Amino acid sequence: MTVKTEWVQEAWDQTKAKVKRIHHRIGDGFPHASINGEYQLEPASWWTSGFWPGLMWLVYRDTQDNELKESSESCESQLDILLTDSNKIDHDIGFMWTLTSGARYKILGAEDSKRRALLAANLLAARFNAQGNFIRAWNGEELAGWAIIDCMMNLPLLYWASSITGDPRYKHIAIKHADTVLKHFYRTDGSVAHIVVFDPDTGEKLGVKGGQGFAPESAWSRGTAWAIYGMSLSYQYTGDPKYLNAAKQTAHFFMANLPEDHVPYWDFRSSEGIPAIRDSSAGACAACGLLLLAEQVDGLEARIYRERGKQILHSLYTNYGAWDSETEEGLILHGTSHFPEKHNVNVPLIYGDYYFAEGISLLMGHQERFW
């Protein structure tokens, strides 16, 4: 039984009100980062295009606001052209269609959304490299052997496709990729690499790249969050305890390295002289993963994971929220997209907003995830 505290109800009410308010300008656009208080819109092909419709679906599920429903459906239809042009999409297919077509199918039972999501799952499965047992990340011949930790959050689309169709091949691919992550991305302390490079012809591991982290052997906090949530979801779909153990290992690393206010810095292992910039989006995603972990274990473990997830969300709400601001469209402040490239640093990010809303929705007792 979910017992809501006063701040959770207040945070959910504030989230619903702000989504409704910023919807008046954004509508069926695709926001990514808020610059100088206004969300910048990206093309439908951008990897974050699923998060705004996903956020609207979270709110619609509770409010039945028809304007949000119509805008979410319009976002989904704008993605259709990408399903016939694989050059414009990559491993982020899961992020894009799980939160659009997948969400609409779960809420409304819409058959057209089911078909879209299954087609997207086929395109994601087609990125699987059978020699290296990984789903390639980006396009381009020079990147044919690159895999990234983010893809753990795209695997649910494949697990879902197997559950819907009864065809185990999608699930087999997801499992193979998750196993490769365990073997080649995971370190003994529970931290994970962002990018691992394989020979696309032989499958041999060639090396590790820092990517959006400080260095190849550092600990990018959002990548850590992807691993917590992604491994917990793989355990949810497979029941294989190795994924649960991996999620727990990374969760312990994440929790042990949080600062006093429970919201992580962008990298847990950067060098002296590098600014201690936060990444609220990493905190929000990790909180959702911790809440799922709490459902998968018992007793003291469950209480610890749930309490830490709540602590992160409470800090995001009280210390990082922009609820009353008339000049800021983002829900939570101080997200960091790509610090090494100095790109969208210390700004609200739509995926941070989405995961914050998902976490609060879960605390409200809305237990069905879109993943």
112 in active site? no
298 in active site? no
Q: What are the residues whose beta carbons fall under 8 Å from the beta carbon of 154, sequence distance 6 or more? A: 91, 92, 93, 94, 95, 98, 124, 135
Residue 160 token pair = 């879902």
- From the CA atom positions of the chain, what is the Rg in Å? 19
**Full DSSP string of 196-246:** EEE-TTT--EEEEE-TTSSSTTS-BHHHHHHHHHHHHHHHHHH--HHHHHH
Q: Which of 28, 85, 112, 150 is catalytic?
A: 150
- In degrees, rounded to 5, the angle at the alpha carbon of residue 20 between the alpha carbons of residues 53 and 92 is 15
Q: Are 147 and 156 in contact (CB under 8 A)?
A: no
DSSP classification of residue 298: -
Which of 293, 318, 150 is closest to 225 using CA atoms?
A: 150
Q: Residue 117 is which amino acid?
A: A
**Cα 214 → chain centroid:** 20
H helix or E strand, kind and range, residue 17: helix 6-26
Q: What is d(CA 239, CA 178) in angstroms, rounded to the nearest whole number? A: 13
Q: Which of 28, 90, 92, 267 is catalytic?
A: 92
DSSP classification of residue 371: -
Phi and psi at 273, nearest 5°, equal 95, -15
Handedness of CA 105, 111, 116, 120 (dihedral sign): positive
DSSP classification of residue 65: -
CB-based burial of residue 84 (10 Å sphere; 0-12 exposed, 13-18 middle, 19+ buried)? exposed
Annotated catalytic sites, by residue?
Answer: 92, 150
